[in-house]
Amino acid sequence: MNILQLNPQIVVYTPLGPGLAYFIMDYGMSINSCWVVRLAKGEIKHFDSNDIRVEGNPTYGFPLKPEIPDSWMIMKEKKKLVSGN
């Protein structure tokens, strides 16, 4: 297993909202990488690489805000209903 500390951190979007990625843990070719992300409210969560979207760079033709899957928005709305916020 390899652990890469991101310095500086990377702005990412997750099913639970935006955050900063601090580490990537790579377990090898047969398993997706795990991203360690601090969410906006301070929570630290681990995400599979399929559940991460990285901010782009318009200089290279990538839009700043990535496409967010519709299913992520549905998850976020359900979380709001459960928490009452």
List, for residues 15-69, the tens digit of each pLDDT value. Answer: 998 999 999 999 988 899 999 999 988 999 999 999 999 988 888 888 788 888 8
Nearest 5 degrees, angle CA 42-CA 37-CA 65?
100
List, for residues 7-25, the tens digit of each pLDDT value. Answer: 999 999 999 989 999 999 9
The structural domains of the chain, ordered by start, are: 2-83 (2.30.30)
- Alpha helices by DSSP H, listed for 1-85, are 70-83
83 pLDDT band (50/70/90 cuts)?
low
Q: What is the pTM of this model?
A: 0.77
- Name, in order, each residue with C-beta under 8 angstroms of 18's C-beta and a sequence gap of 6 or more: 11, 12, 39, 40
Nearest 5 degrees, angle CA 49-CA 10-CA 48?
15
